[in-house]
Amino acid sequence: MVENATASGAVRISHQNGRECKGDRARWSLDTGTFVVEGNPAEIRDPVRGRSAAPRLTYFKANDTILLGNP
């Protein structure tokens, strides 16, 4: 089973509900249930909530929240 995954370059993560996240680097951690996307800027677009951008976005799967912050 994959517990962690890392991607770099032009990272693009899409979700079936239309949400899309872009950045330069992304890390997924199964044990914490989080995606961390970093970029200049990292960006998330949601068809309902709109667009957010920051140097680092942390998505928490458990409660479907996103923390915007600096690395």
Collapsing DSSP to helix, strand or coil, 27 comes out as strand
The pLDDT-based confidence of 71 (bands split at 50, 70, 90) is low
Which pLDDT score is estimated for 2? Answer: 82
Which pLDDT score is estimated for 64? Answer: 87
Over residues 4-52, the pLDDT tens digits come to 999 999 999 998 789 899 999 999 999 999 999 999 999 999 999 899 9
Which pLDDT score is estimated for 10? Answer: 94
Q: Which CATH class is domain 4-69?
A: mainly beta
- pTM equals 0.86
b/e per residue 29-44 (b: at least 16 CB within 10 A): eeeeeebbbbbebbbb
Q: Domain segments of the chain: what residues? A: 4-69
